[in-house]
Structure formats: C-alpha cells, structure tokens
Amino acid sequence: MPFSGESLIVIIIVGLIAGWLAGHIVKAGGFGIVGDIIVGIIGAFVAAWLLPRLGIHLAVGIFGRIVDATLGAVILLLIIRLVKRI
C-alpha cells in the first residue's frame, strides 16, 4: 500500500508525538528524546501498515492516529528492550 505525500507528513508528525508519549509510558525503556521520536516515527509507520490489516481501529481522526502510533511505538520499545537484554 503506497503512502501519499500528505499521509507521510501526517505519519511523521504523529510519530513525533507518539515517540514522546511512548518514552513516558515505557519507563527506563526510552532512548532519550531524539531516540524516542525516531522510535515513534517507526512505530507510526508500523501501526499505519499493520493495524488496518488486522482490522483494528481504535479511534478516528488525528486522535486515533496518535493512539495507533503510540501503541506501535510502545510495542517497538518493548521489543527493543527485550532484544537489548539478550
């Protein structure tokens, strides 16, 4: 599924917010503000791709995108934390 230019910009902006939120949700799992923002952007892309395929729609509008991206970023932070322990 290709993303349009506008949707890429929205995903990046939402990812910035989601990364910051995920860093606060996952205590001692963050990578500082810049690292959390990068994880948030990646989490936003993962959520934008994966959640619709699973039929998961948590909320609508920009709030829904932030919730989805935060969920993706939290999951990504937890996976990174598990991999770092190994």
Q: Which domain holds residue 64?
A: 5-85
Count CB-CB contacts under 10 A for residue 15: 29
What pLDDT is stored for residue 5 in this prediction?
67
Answer yes or no: is pLDDT of 15 > 60: yes
* Nearest to 20, CA basis, from 30, 7, 6, 8: 30
Which residue in the block uniquely carries the two structure tokens 């860093």? 23
**pLDDT, tens digit, 9 for 90 and up, residues 27-52:** 765 677 778 778 888 887 888 788 88
Put simply, whether the predicted model's pTM sits higher than 0.85 gets the answer no
Answer yes or no: is pLDDT of 59 > 80: no
